[in-house]
Structure 1
């Protein structure tokens, strides 16, 4: 028997109501260096275990991923307090770790971003040298490095493209320590390659991250930041406020993950990838299993 058109329409509408709406995937972002690739992968695996659909988009530049989050294209990624303070919010005042976190949390809330609980990780910039290297044996601090440049010593530094233009990078460093470099002194390269360049003797000084496992593995000496130029770079999950309101259960697992992270933990995880050459996905899954955040 043929049903009236109206009855067919009602039946179709009822059927549509019985089909659950597909949840929009959470977009997890990440920058383009090992630690960020790890944090993006760990976060993605964790959220999938918690029942979220996840779309991971990592390997991005700092400003790119920040802009993507502000514009609604990335829901969550791990940011560093010092980067938000100096690079994004243009605050030049130096302050302690808690004050830095409180300040960026307040400032970023105004543009729809929520900083969750910070980890104990402080992945600050640093400059390192090889031990027992004639050109740099007398250098123990950034003041020593600045004096060497002022005295005309020809030293080469490996840095990445971002560091050369960031206010919390080379420009600010030169102003604070009163020295100048020239193009002849600088070797610009991918962040991950600065370690190999320094290890292999192709440069005298290399830009490193404090939580990188290669510092210990390659037996580098980190120059002391004796004027405390570099701000605190505590890593914390940052979520779009709109996303968090729509997914309130997102906060607990991210805060639980943050509580498991420290400088030493990330040095070990980074070394597993960069030194032992274990795939990022494997390191991430092993960490989650050992940390018990299921």
Structure 2
């Protein structure tokens, strides 16, 4: 069938009755746009859900031949529909909008977009970012966590573990207790990131120390990219809260970053807090002269009586 219409308002009046007849069909709609001397067309491939299986197979197998015989270079848009609304004027505009929209984001791109939005555009990160350093993001520290920090400062406990509630965008308390260096590795989760504060009471060279150690644990790629980026970005702001006199007022002796608790031991902490100094000073070695170059030969006069 061949129809002609002179306005967009009549498009549905011509096309929809064909679709509502519950028959499979190809529909070619000519646009006003030209390519050279020829008009461009919209190719509509309509197969209703109620069509017989034989019709579906027949139209699917002959679609390419139909386009080729008509002239594939003249088809600007191609649409598929299985209900009348798919091939209406509204359906066509929706098709154009979907086509013009950016493609769906991958999980990685969604996480990066989320972090960029949190930062308010202060630092743009992309999938290809390599050397850019993320600026800090500040999540508020809930009251329970602040109270645990005060207990740590007042030496009521010697260990505090903090976590990020990514949904609520807050810093929460995970654990507050007293522990030992031997038990410390078991406090480091193997499947998620955490922040830790540990007071290391020890003696070194006859002096007593109670060093506050901040540990940022991140078990590598076991964590989602969003979690890794947020923990890394929130660390600086959280340290400001911990060290601020109005908040925690805790003097951090050493800041560590670990991917597991396996390496945590008393010897490891002692080495980090009191690194050994190299007292051996090698003696000055006189540089050797150039090999094979002894200068010009000298004439030596023989003394009287010498042979």
Short-chain TM bin: under 0.3
Which has more radius of gyration?
A: 2
User: What TM-score, normalized by structure 1, do the two folds share?
Assistant: 0.26
Considering fraction of residues, name the structure with more helix: 1
Considering fraction of residues, name the structure with more strand: 2
User: What TM-score, normalized by structure 2, do the two folds share?
Assistant: 0.25
